[in-house]
């Protein structure tokens, strides 16, 4: 699977189960469900994703994304995200929305016409109007593509080389049209530093934004003194 191919779905909103959302609001709000701003946010997000218009998605983002997120992403980034969801997952329905704590993201559990399921996570600001600070899409690990994906060896301590406390492994479903995944992972392994990070960005290699190169340059400056 290429980078930026998200497992998600376009969906119709059903507010069943929203009472389970956890917010620091009064008893009346808890009994009646989430704050109206949250309902509006999810309604508008769903409508924009379902739209065939990238401009409608951008209009939603301008209304509901935080200033920092709008600055971090370009309109082209948001259009690509919208296109990937529609192309790869089809029309989806919303199964439920959960929030595992007042500081946790909204988790939109969705199922698509392709048969795939996903969780779209929306991090929001703590106070109304609850602007979105981060959007992430998690795939369905029960799908054959994930069940059959090759797992890494068990993680080890980067200093001692001893097995990590927990049996943690990783499966990757991303690649790059210029540098293959295995080569990138091999290069990451041979970097002789305990302070290293591996980032994967959606889209094609040439679509990486300036923050990608800034992060790489900062790492090299820090480690090659």
Residue 119: per-residue pLDDT? 84
Per-residue pLDDT at 31 exceeds 80: no
Residue 32: per-residue pLDDT? 54
173/4 Cα distance (integer angstroms): 10
Enumerate the H helices of 123-197 as residue ranges: 144-147, 181-190
Rounded average pLDDT over 117-130: 90
189-220: pLDDT as tens digits: 887 777 777 777 666 666 666 777 787 788 78
What domains can be seen in the chain, in order of their start residue? 18-140 (3.10.450.50), 149-225 (no CATH)
| Nearest Cα residue to 45 out of 5, 78, 6, 4 | 78
Q: Global pTM?
A: 0.53
145-184: pLDDT as tens digits: 666 777 788 888 878 888 888 777 777 766 666 777 778 8
Enumerate the H helices of the chain as residue ranges: 27-32, 36-50, 54-64, 67-72, 75-89, 144-147, 181-190, 210-223
């Amino acid at each position: 699977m290429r980078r930026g191919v998200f497992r998600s779905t376009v969906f119709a909103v059903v507010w069943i189960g929203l009472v389970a959302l956890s917010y620091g609001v009064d008893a009346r709000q808890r009994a009646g469900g989430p704050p109206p701003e949250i309902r509006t946010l999810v309604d508008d997000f769903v409508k924009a994703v379902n739209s065939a218009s990238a401009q409608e998605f951008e209009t939603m983002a301008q209304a509901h994304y935080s200033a920092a997120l709008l600055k971090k992403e370009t309109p082209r980034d948001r259009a690509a995200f919208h296109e990937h969801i529609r192309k790869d997952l089809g029309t989806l329905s919303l199964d439920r929305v959960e929030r595992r704590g007042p500081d946790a993201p909204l988790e939109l559990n969705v199922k698509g016409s392709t048969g795939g399921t996903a969780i779209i996570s929306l991090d929001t600001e703590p106070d109304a109007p609850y602007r979105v600070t981060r959007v992430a899409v998690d795939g369905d690990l029960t799908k054959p593509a994930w069940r059959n994906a090759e797992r890494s060896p068990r993680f080890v301590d980067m200093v001692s080389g001893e097995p990590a406390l927990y049996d943690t492994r990783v499966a990757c479903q991303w690649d790059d049209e210029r540098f293959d995944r295995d080569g990138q992972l091999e290069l990451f392994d041979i970097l002789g530093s305990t302070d290293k990070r591996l980032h994967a960005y959606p889209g094609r290699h040439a679509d990486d934004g300036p923050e990608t190169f800034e992060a790489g340059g900062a790492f090299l400056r820090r480690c090659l003194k």
